[in-house]
Amino acid sequence: MVRKTPRIIKKIEAIFEAFIWNVRFFIVVPVVFSLLSSLRLIVIGTLDIWAALTLAFDIQDPEGEATVQIVAYIIGGIDYYLIGIVLLIFAFGIYELFISEIEIKHNDDSNILQSETLEELKGKLVNVIVVALIVSLFKQMLSLEIRQTSDVIYMALAILLISISQYLLNLNHPSSSKSKRNLKSPH
């Protein structure tokens, strides 16, 4: 009886470990929905930019409202594209971290979406999110009416804070220059 107990425990342990290991395939759900959301946002961004391209310039518009509206549509489209890219990077990253490496990407020697660790994936996502926030801020600044000197100061402070945050992000990720070199040099 003593010999059967360790065998039963080992079998239960093996079944439980197989169950735990296979639960990782539930990650496919957020991968699929991130890809679908990314596609949807890219379509929305394209529609925004198309709307900007179809707007007519009004020569007799002294305030330039039509031009501001065109620029707002284009910036909005870029913002949607960037959020779509965040979702795309997220989908590729968590798929490769939890499920399997994407083999087809080796056909063109691309390592753009490759994330070896969760920290590297977070770093890529944070960089794209910061750029999306910069674009969103720029879009908001287009519609901002400057009434006081303090409005200009606040805009300047916002731009300064964005510049500082981008500088700090680049300091925090020294591997970004290494990855740029890897992209330029063919393997």
The series of mean pLDDT values per 10 residues for the chain, 187 residues long, is 74 91 88 95 95 77 73 88 89 85 70 69 76 77 78 84 79 53 42
Separation of alpha carbons 138 and 140, rounded Å: 5
pLDDT of residue 69: 82
Separation of alpha carbons 111 and 113, rounded Å: 6
Separation of alpha carbons 45 and 49, rounded Å: 6
Separation of alpha carbons 134 and 105, rounded Å: 30
> What domain range includes position 163?
4-184
pLDDT of residue 177: 44
Cβ neighbors of 83 (< 8 A, separation 6 or more) are 41, 132
Burial 147-179, CB ≥16 within 10 A → b, else e: eeeeeeeeeeeeeeebeeeeeeeeeebeeeeee
pLDDT of residue 174: 54
Separation of alpha carbons 177 and 153, rounded Å: 33
* DSSP classification of residue 141: H
Q: By three-state DSSP, how is residue 174 classified?
A: coil
pLDDT of residue 187: 41
In Å, how far from its chain's centre is CA 171?
20
Residue 12 CB coordination number (10 Å): 10
| Contact of 75 with 138, CB cutoff 8 Å | yes
pLDDT of residue 135: 78
| Contact of 29 with 43, CB cutoff 8 Å | no
Number of domains in the chain: 1
